[in-house]
Structure 1
Amino acid sequence: MEVQDQLKAIPSNEWVLLRDIYKRDWPRHQLAYNTIQNYINWSALDPRIKQLQILGFDDSWRENGTCVILDRYQMYVYTVEDSNKSLKRALLLVDWDYSYKMCCIPMRYHPTFQEVFATLSIDLLWDHPCVIYELSKEDSLKLDLNVPKGLHTEKLSIHHATFANEVWPHRCEGSEYFLKRLAAWNPSVGLFNEAGQLLAWCFCWPNGAIGPLEVAKEHQRKGYGSLMVKAIAREVANAGLNCYGTAITGNAQSRAMFEKLGFRLVDGGCFYARNRSRKLVEYDR
């Protein structure tokens, strides 16, 4: 009798082994390394964290690192395999009845995703190609903040995440809790006036990249966005990481900001996408 192909949860005590596979060809796979390390950190803070799985194949993840990370409605996938063969095998086994936000997926995987979507008749809500920028931790620490008089920066708290979610253009079911975890567990920074009003803010994604970054509507075009990028870059550098940022390919304003601050364009790029749910689920948009 033929054994059915299965994705299985990789035990959390083996996530370090998975992470270290992504040291190969450093820093090519640094975002993958950062993502797995993020969930190692989070599971240490909350060993019983719900709706988080890192899935792989028993017969191969220790060699090719192929994994699917499902964190509530968010999905990250990685492999060091050039052929993407095991990646396709894994994606075909994902339960696509649920709606996932595919986050910062390396663009070299995009054809494989498209093949799987066509095979399984998966309907996408959106699919955005993006560019990736990088600033080394050494250069990040050299950034001069120049905070305007009367303003100050400090780490965001959970209640700031609630406000940030209310005005976030990409908010969805589950996003408020997601931002709360970023505020509580990852580097973050807010810009405040003397009255304590939040003027601009920036979180740090699970993969270590900048975002979400927002400036209150009434305070836009004052340079606060660039200030937040510099502030979060320093925080990330103090954690020992290079700083990454993404921008939709056609977003000239964001790209110009990164380039003005000295970020370099990383080859390959990435994409973000969201599939439509095929049944009644908790996270559906």
Structure 2
Amino acid sequence: MSTEDSLVEIPRSDWTKLRDLYVHRDTDPQGFLCINNFIKWVEIEPELKVSFLSLNGDWQSDGTFVITLGWNTYKKHLFFNTLSDKLDRVTKALECLKSFEDEYIFYGFGSRFMPVVDHIGSKYCTTKALFFVENVWYTASKELVDSFTIQVPPGITLRNVNLEDAETINEIWPHRAPGSIEFVRSLIKYNMNLGAYDDNGKLVAWCLRLPIGSLGLLQVLESHKRLGLGSLMVKSMAKKISGSGDQVLAPVVTKNTASRCMFEKLGFRAIDNTYWAH
């Protein structure tokens, strides 16, 4: 990295212009849907700790950007992308952040950026190696989603998740961490979501939408498994997302063969791998 390289804030007035550069990259984990997500979040919460950054002030030439999302009690989330086939500018942009060891989670990046993250990890994470979680990146066409039929079992009601149920969701989430309740609450407050509630008003299954625009945090309580609620959540959330005009996407942990089988049985198609690293 030369001493001249620096990250420059992209003004909020230009965020939609950056987003529109990615209008044809709606299956990128950190493309159109991701940028649009934070535009919407800031409309709801103007004081949100989100920064859109560019290398030396130039994002127009090749769409290279870095987005950081800060939390009060949780590690910062890091999003980045470039329209260029070359990865040198996005690498330089990330190098400008420098502090990676305990500060950032690389959030859901596509497989083509693995060399970039490997480089950052080897250069800046000197006391701890980066830990990677690999996911299969699935998509569902609009035609497939339109064909889904929704049959809700007796005694179950589908509706938006109550904010007070965030603790239940976080407690069961396999990837929870200190402070992650703050992240879960934000997904409930700012993004479309879906919960299955029993006759007593208890949340028994749910599916949220991640900042990268995909389905996420899909879970069914042990007491209500084998009732088809997992598939019901996926199909119902897919219809909500597709109905809004967005591409339907889902990351599924590669080792989670049961979940992958469910998505593939529904007709979802694998198009890439995505990774979380911290």
Alignment TM-score, normalising by the size of structure 1: 0.89
SS where residue 171 of structure 1 aligns?
Answer: coil
Residue 34 of structure 2 corresponds to 35
Partner deviation per Cα, 1:210-236 (whole Å, 9 max, x = no partner)? 111111122223221111111111111
Q: Residues 61 and 88 of structure 1: is their aligned pair in 2 closer, same or farther, counting only changes over 3 Å?
A: same
Name the CA distance, whole Å, in 2 between partners of 1:30 and 1:100.
Answer: 17
Matched, 1:273 2:273: no
Matched, 1:60 2:58: yes
Partner deviation per Cα, 1:16-54 (whole Å, 9 max, x = no partner)? 111111124x445475100110111111111222x2111
Name the CA distance, whole Å, in 2 between partners of 1:11 and 1:90.
Answer: 17
Residue 12 of structure 1 corresponds to 12
Matched, 1:228 2:233: yes
Name the CA distance, whole Å, in 1 between partners of 2:41 and 2:138.
Answer: 25
Name the CA distance, whole Å, in 2 between partners of 1:44 and 1:137.
Answer: 27
Name the CA distance, whole Å, in 2 between partners of 1:11 and 1:174.
Answer: 29
Letter paired with 1:117: G
Residue 75 of structure 1 corresponds to 78
Residue 137 of structure 2 corresponds to 132
CA RMSD of the aligned region, Å? Answer: 1.8
Q: Which residue, out of 90, 96, 102, partners 2:100?
A: 96
Matched, 1:216 2:215: no
Q: Residues 31 and 125 of structure 1: is their aligned pair in 2 closer, same or farther, counting only changes over 3 Å?
A: closer
SS where residue 63 of structure 1 aligns?
Answer: coil
Report if aligned partners of 1:22, 1:30 keep a CA contact under 8 Å in 2: no
Alignment TM-score, normalising by the size of structure 2: 0.91
Name the CA distance, whole Å, in 1 between partners of 2:174 and 2:29.
Answer: 28
**1:255 offset after TM fit, Å?**
1.3
Residue 118 of structure 2 corresponds to 114
Name the CA distance, whole Å, in 2 between partners of 1:204 and 1:168.
Answer: 14
Gaps of 5+ in 1: 275-285
Q: What is the number of residues matched between the two proteins?
A: 270
Matched, 1:144 2:149: yes
Name the CA distance, whole Å, in 2 between partners of 1:100 and 1:53.
Answer: 14
Name the CA distance, whole Å, in 2 between partners of 1:92 and 1:270.
Answer: 21
Report if aligned partners of 2:68, 2:77 keep a CA contact under 8 Å in 1: yes
**1:98 offset after TM fit, Å?**
3.7
Q: Which residue, out of 258, 261, 264, partners 1:256?
A: 261
**1:10 offset after TM fit, Å?**
1.1
Letter paired with 2:18: L
Name the CA distance, whole Å, in 1 between partners of 2:27 and 2:242.
Answer: 18
- Structure 1 range deviating more: 102-111 or 243-252: 243-252
Name the CA distance, whole Å, in 2 between partners of 1:20 and 1:111.
Answer: 26
